[in-house]
Amino acid sequence: MLIEPPIEVMSQMVGNKYKLSTLVSKRAKQIQKRNIREELNPKEKEITEAAREVFEGKLVADEE
């Protein structure tokens, strides 16, 4: 369960929870592929890193 960053705040930033979950899951998959390719051992899970990027404004959803 993701507690930090707060899901309610991020869903308002993105527009809705469905768009948030899609955005975070796609980014987490990209991060996972990068970690495997570069043989990285991350300190946090990919989903947490992706959620943090949304919360910090580094990752935004398309307007579609």
pLDDT by 10s per residue, the chain, length 64: 567 788 999 999 999 999 999 999 999 999 999 999 999 999 999 999 999 999 999 998 887 6
Whether residue 21 is contained in a domain is answered as: yes
Whether residue 5 is contained in a domain is answered as: no
Work out how many domains the chain is built from and give that number: 1
What is the pLDDT at residue 4?
A: 78
Give the integer Cα–Cα distance in Å for 44 and 64: 30
DSSP helix/strand/coil, 15? coil
The pTM score is 0.86
What is the pLDDT at residue 47?
A: 94
Whether residue 9 is contained in a domain is answered as: no
Residues with Cβ within 8 Å of residue 47, at least 6 apart in sequence: 2, 24, 25, 28
Whether residue 36 is contained in a domain is answered as: yes
Closest CA to 20 of 34, 35, 6, 1: 6
